[in-house]
């Protein structure tokens, strides 16, 4: 039996020994890794502020899914690749298209929800352009109290 937990975080190999199995991915990201772009809102899987993406092999192909980090326990990540909002810009610093569109089209006001929306869109990005209905579907699990959603869908 293995005592270590292995996964990839933003391209970095992670091996954790004797981790408390009750540790959530959100707490570990924010408190241990200081990756505070992933926000804590409801802390019970309802608001989407803590959205990250998790990639696993499905049918031999990588499948990227949005995940609420507040209800994801670290042992659930063994063998997966986790990406946070800090890990999606290009190596030369260019923004991910979801970040770029959010900034250009004023999809962010207070900004608290923004990383979660961006990561939900990052998860959906490999599916290609899908129009407003598709975007609405992709961000259905994310709440924003400021924008009225119009600029985000734009």
Question: CA–CA separation, 4 vs 78, rounded Å?
Answer: 9
Closest distance to ligand FES from the beta carbon of 52 (Å) = 10
Q: Does 149 interact with ligand FES (rule: CB under 6 A)?
A: no
At residue 82, the 3 state secondary structure works out as strand
Binding mask 23-42 for ligand FES (x = CB under 6 A): -----------------xxx
Nearer to ligand FES, 21 or 111 (CB): 111
Q: Using CB under 6 A, which residues numbered 47 to 76 contact ligand FES?
A: 47-50, 68, 70
Binding-site member from 113, 119, 121, 135 for ligand FES (CB under 6 A): 113
97-113: b or e for each residue (b if 16 or more CB lie within 10 Å)?
ebbebbeeeebbeeebb
HSE-up of 22 (CA within 13 Å, CB side)? 0
């Amino acid at each position: 039996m293995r005592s270590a937990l292995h996964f990839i975080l933003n391209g970095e190999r992670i091996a954790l020994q004797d981790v408390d199995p009750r540790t959530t991915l959100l707490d570990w990201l924010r408190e241990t890794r200081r990756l505070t772009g992933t926000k804590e809102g409801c802390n019970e899987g309802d608001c989407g502020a803590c959205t990250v993406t998790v990639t696993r092999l499905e049918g031999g192909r990588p499948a990227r899914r949005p995940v609420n980090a507040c209800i994801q326990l670290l042992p659930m990540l063994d063998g997966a690749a986790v990406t946070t909002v800090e890990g999606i810009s290009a190596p030369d610093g260019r923004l991910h298209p979801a970040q770029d569109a959010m900034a250009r089209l004023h999809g962010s006001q207070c900004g608290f929800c923004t990383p979660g929306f961006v990561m939900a869109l990052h998860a959906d990005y490999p599916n290609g352009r899908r129009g407003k209905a598709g975007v609405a579907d992709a961000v259905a699990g994310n709440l924003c109290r400021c924008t009225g959603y119009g600029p985000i869908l734009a």
